[in-house]
Amino acid sequence: MQYMLLICGVEGEELESDGGYTIEEWVAEMDGRGVRLQGDRLRPASDATTVRVRSNEVLISDGPFAETKEQMYGYDLLECADLDEAIEVASKHPMARAGMVELRPVWPFDEE
């Protein structure tokens, strides 16, 4: 089953090392296990563009739609046997200790 791991944190806060994995170590392990299909960092929220369509008019605004302290820093697409494995993988990500990670199952088109 595929899961999207959304990496979130508060912009400007430093990642504290507590003896856990570095991001590079986490990526190397998960790539080696074959559970990480892809992933990357995202540009800062200040580089975001929000797109809405209302009454057939495209409305564009700079920046993120939601004004929150926590921002999405990146993502990883995982292929795990089940939710338990996905939680184990997510719990090892360094941002689980410094910020937070949100884990969501991917909803395939054929299951609508």
pLDDT in tens, 10-49: 877 766 666 778 889 999 999 999 999 999 999 988 888 8
Q: What is the DSSP letter of 6?
A: E
pLDDT at 82 over 70: yes
Q: Report the distance separating Cα 75 and Cα 101, nearest Å.
A: 9
Q: Which residue has the higher pLDDT, 18 or 89?
A: 89
* DSSP state string for 22-73: -HHHHHHHHHHHT-EEEEEE---GGG-EEEEEETTEEEEEES-SS--SEEEE
The domain in which residue 95 lies consists of 2-13+20-111
Confidence band for 110, pLDDT divided at 50, 70 and 90: confident
Q: What is the pLDDT of residues 90-109, one digit of tens each?
A: 999 998 988 889 999 999 88
CA atoms of 38 and 9, how far apart (whole Å): 20
Distance between CA atoms of 90 and 84, rounded to whole angstroms? 10
pTM of the model: 0.81
pLDDT of residue 16: 64
CATH of the domain at 89: 3.30.70.1060
Instruction: Tell me what pLDDT residue 62 has.
Output: 84
Count the domains in the chain.
1
pLDDT(89) > 90: yes
